[in-house]
Chains A and B, each alone.
Chain A
Amino acid sequence: MKKKILIVDDEPNIVMSLEYAFKKKDFEVFIARDGTEALEIAEKQFPDVVLLDIMMPQMDGYATLQKIKENKDMQDTKVVFLSAKNKPADVQKGLDLGADMYMTKPFSIKKIVTEISNLM
């Protein structure tokens, strides 16, 4: 069965590249533009991994992560932050909230794909 990945970011150009790279690696890719939309999709699809931006309109990445973690059916879902916020405090906060990985923008697509494949 194909692994499911949910990419959450409000920058369509970034999303497009990620989508292409993960499809190439045989992931089933879902896309959301903000936290609210991400939760809607996640509750239906139960993705294996969520790639989550932090600064988004409506609901931010931290809140979205908490909602995902609250859901019993998504206990095994891996969450990876993908953010331009690169201060140690931001990274720590993300990991403390229960993220499995924190990657900073700008990132290398190749590296992301490798790291996430390793997480699986």
Chain B
Amino acid sequence: MSNYLLILIIVGYLGFLFLIAFFAEKNGKSKWVNNPYVYVLSLAVYCTAWTYYGSVGIASQSGISFLGIYLGPVIALPLWIILMRKIIRISKQQKISSIADFISLRYGNSRFLGALVTFTCLLAIIPYISLQLKAVSETFEIITEDQGYASSSILSDTTFYIAILIAVFVAFFGTLSTDASLRKKGIIATVSIESILKLFFFLIVGIYVTFYLFDGTEDLYIKASSASNFKTLSSFGGIENGFNWLFTICLSFFAIFLLPRQFHVAVVENEEEGHLKKAVWLFPLYLLLFNLLVIFIAWAGNISLPSSVNHDYYTLLLPLQEGNIFLATLVFIGGFSAVISMIVVSTLALSTMVSNNIIIPYGFLKKMIQGNPEENSKNIKNIRRLAIFTLTIVAYFFYIIFSAQLSLYSIGLIAFVIIAQLAPSFFFGLFWRRGTAQASILGIVVGLVVVCYTLILPIVVNTVDADSTIMTSGLFDKDWLRPSQLFGVDYLTPENNAFLWSLSLNTLCFVGFSVSHKGNYRERNYAEMFVNYENYENLQEGAFVWKGEAYVADIKRLLYRFLGKQKTDRALKIFNRKHNIAETEEKADSRLINFSEKLLTGSIGSASAKILLSSVSKEKPISLVEVLNILEETKKTKANNKLLIEKSEELSTMAEQLKNVNVELREQDKQKDEFLDTVAHELKTPITSIKAASEVLVDEDMPQELRRQFLENINRDTDRLAALIHNILDLEKLSSDRAELNMKSQKINKTIEKAINGISQIAARKGVEVSFSQQKNIKGVYDEDRILQVLTNLLSNALKFTKEDKGKIDIKTAEDNGFVSISVEDNGRGIPKEEHSYIFEKFYQSKNQNIKKPQGSGFGLAICKRIVESHNGKIWVDTSYDNGARLIFTIPKSE
């Protein structure tokens, strides 16, 4: 392929990434940008060119040992639910924007420690970035078949321009805001896309090699097993190799937490803790997919390609050998994606660290104190941009000078070993209160010295003076000081040897010094806030212990310089409201100091924020005991407050419940009154009638015929009275569950027929037609007398409301889920919709105070309801029926 075509493809691809980033920034709230999958895919920035090309190289030479690097993260991820959640919560609380901020803040916001961590990261990552550039350059060379490419001058080196383009991208999307703790959605979106592409293209070439060039995995195995060194390539090795495995796993375990780019994507860019849950299983799955076909590609390369080629690039060389330039280009784009995402996130994280932990606290603070907000914001952004370009260019030159003779795998491992030096300070700091800044500094420095001696020195020696005897006979000719076999351990790989001794000495120094030297109160304060973050989570600013004198006005002036007036005033207003502080308060307390520190931390880093605030306040030193006492007190006050709030909430719910019960009781009382009223009224009517009739009957002149009529009236009213009393007693009996039901399994059809017979005479007299659409014989379990009572009641009601000679009543039965439902419908005037809900109440009549219903006691339906309910059935009005009234009730079916 021609140079220009490939350059065109690269530029096109970068343009596409710009668009993606632009879209994501513009639609920052969109679901496409904020979801757990984007989070998981951004974690896959772990897979760089080292994974993409280097794994195959290692697999082809030393078998499956490449897997160790991925087992560490796989083991670490389940722990994330606890560990990473803690880290994320602390970071959000403290507005932490990098691993350097995290470690330095933990140890009392130490400026020097922050700078040291940044330095360590630079030491590890710059060569790592340069290796990525090397991969781009070499793969470019392979695709274009341009052999003279690497030796040409910088200005004609495509890799240089690619590096610059990437730097422009980071500088643009990475510095949109001065607050480095804010999320950079544009960059993360592109990283996610790249993670998809690199995995996808890698799988394609893996499948192509395994199943197209060869006949699947078995074919490859048979062919590869004939090679002389096959056994070493496919086994774990002996016990000594076991140590190598163990250390490699440890290394990568630390790396997934500590690499600046991993910390950045996992912590700073985390939007929701909940996303962790997806990451715990999806990210290991991603790694698994990536490593699935590595060994087969390696075997295939070993079989089909001459051993003189660079084994790292089998994925490119295999398709090229077959003349498949298209696939090779796809592979190139995949690898290029891996490279860009790594460089982008790394330079972004490093530039924040360099500006916030080195440049600003050590040089620019004085200038910034005098600047206005716009200038300061511009300066901060420019410092970061400058850092991004400088980092990229330094990495480029490192690549030109050194990386020619190193493989992707070895430089990657060196980076891991260096980064691992942060592990003791980081992990102990999360769980152990005793660690101090000095101990952390000592540990890291010692660790770095050991790494330099055991890992970096040999490389430099090899490059500069190949004849030196230091490698073979050790420093000062002491055998146990041989860099790669320190203390006589000679079975570890150089990287694992370096890891073992550097980390051991580092940890020893850190722990030893922490135990023997007490830290100051500030360190102890932050130790509490990190280790027991749960206790201080809701305390927020209250967890910061500070004594001294400071004025709100001074602090305000300081904040104006960095945040501008508007933002400062708004932030302080919220702060005052949250803590119930009067706007007129002149003196600042510890909470305001801590709040302001946090406000500034995002822009200029925690170290600078602390320096600035101490410049406007006079802090009085406090003893360690005092810090602990104050913390304990704030915690207690907070806890007491919480308890009080809980108690008062409890009380108010209880009061609420009481009120509800009261209302209910009153309602019941009222219902009872109404019921009695109705009863009284209903009883009074026949009594009045009887009394009146008997009074007029005293008149002796009354004609005989009239007298007979009066007597008949009295008779009928007495019957009515008796029936009424019976009904009332019946209803009360049913209500209080005293009614004994004579439950039997019997045929419902028979009961219905009995009910129809009972009213047939009246129906015939009124000319109403009663029909019963018989179903197959359904059996129900019920008290027949009671159900007969219900049926008779419903039928009498229907009769009452249908017109003479035109009335029709129809009874239907159906089976429904273990119940028999019986409906009685008529073509009468129906029941008004608004009355449907209470026609079954015994107070039905009294609801409609003065308007009387036509005849009846008003108890009939109430009794029906009680009866049906005592059978565990239901009764209701079918609201969908509008041709009259349809009432339905259910009773249990017989099994």
Contact = CB atoms under 8 A, between A and B. Distances in A.
Interface in A29-49: none
B693 A17 contact: yes
A110 B695 contact: yes
A26 to B, nearest CB: 14
Interface in B800-823: none
Given A13-B693, A84-B681, A107 B713 contact: no
A14 B850 contact: no
Given A13-B689, A13-B693, A105-B688, A55 B717 contact: no
Given A17-B710, A21-B696, A84-B680, A54 B688 contact: no
B689 A11 contact: yes
A89 to B, nearest CB: 12
A84 B679 CA distance: 11
Given A24-B699, A84-B681, A109-B696, A17 B852 contact: no
Interface residues of B, number: 26
A61 B710 contact: no
A54 B850 contact: yes
A98 interface: no
B30 interface: no
A85 interface: yes
A24 B703 CA distance: 12
Given A13-B717, A105-B688, A106-B684, A57 B851 contact: yes
Name which of B687, B850, B854 has the most chain A CB atoms within 10 A of its CB. Answer: B850
Contact of A17 (B681, B692, B854): B692
Interface in B837-857: 849-854
A16 B688 CA distance: 12
Contacts of A106: 684, 687-688, 691-692
Contacts, number: 75
Contacts of A107: 688, 691-692
Interface string A10-24: 110110111011001
B851 A109 contact: no
A54 B688 CA distance: 15
B706 interface: yes
A11 B716 CA distance: 13
Contacts of A10: 852
27 contacts: A11-B688, A13-B689, A13-B717, A14-B689, A17-B689, A17-B692, A17-B695, A17-B696, A17-B710, A18-B692, A20-B702, A21-B696, A54-B850, A55-B851, A56-B850, A56-B852, A57-B851, A58-B851, A60-B849, A60-B851, A84-B680, A84-B681, A84-B685, A84-B688, A85-B681, A105-B685, A105-B688
A108 interface: yes
B684 A105 contact: yes
A27 interface: no
A6 to B, nearest CB: 17
Contact of B853 (A11, A57, A61, A85): A57
Nearest to B691: A106
Interface string A50-91: 000011111011100000000000000000000011000000
A13 B702 CA distance: 16
Given A13-B713, A57-B853, A107-B691, 20 more contacts: A11-B688, A13-B689, A14-B685, A16-B710, A17-B689, A17-B695, A17-B710, A20-B706, A21-B695, A24-B699, A56-B850, A56-B852, A58-B851, A84-B680, A84-B688, A85-B681, A105-B684, A105-B685, A108-B695, A109-B695
Contacts of B850: 54-56, 60-62
A105 to B, nearest CB: 4
B681 A109 contact: no
Complex A-B, nearest 4 residue pairs according to Cβ-Cβ distance, in ascending order: A60-B850, A17-B692, A106-B688, A13-B689
Contact of A84 (B684, B692, B693, B709): B684
A24 B702 CA distance: 10
B696 A20 contact: yes
B681 A55 contact: yes
A67 B689 CA distance: 28
A105 B713 CA distance: 17
Contacts of A16: 693, 709-710, 713
A107 B688 CA distance: 7
Nearest to A34: B852
Nearest to A112: B692
Contacts of B854: 57
Interface in B674-725: 680-681, 684-685, 687-689, 691-693, 695-696, 699, 702, 706, 709-710, 713, 716-717
Nearest to B850: A60
Of the candidates A14, A85, A108, the one having the most CB atoms from chain B within 10 angstroms of its own CB is A14
A63 to B, nearest CB: 8
B771 to A, nearest CB: 30
A55 B689 contact: no
Contacts of B709: 16
Nearest to B686: A13
A114 B689 CA distance: 19
A108 B710 CA distance: 16
A11 to B, nearest CB: 6
Contacts of B681: 55, 84-85
Contacts of A14: 685, 688-689, 692
A106 B682 CA distance: 12
Contacts of A61: 850
Interface in A87-120: 105-110
Nearest to B681: A84
Interface string B337-348: 000000000000
A100 to B, nearest CB: 20
A81 to B, nearest CB: 12
A76 to B, nearest CB: 26
Contacts of B702: 20
Contacts of B689: 11, 13-14, 17
A20 B693 CA distance: 10
A35 B710 CA distance: 25
A16 B697 CA distance: 12
A84 B677 CA distance: 10
A84 B850 CA distance: 11
B690 to A, nearest CB: 8
Contacts of B695: 17, 21, 108-110
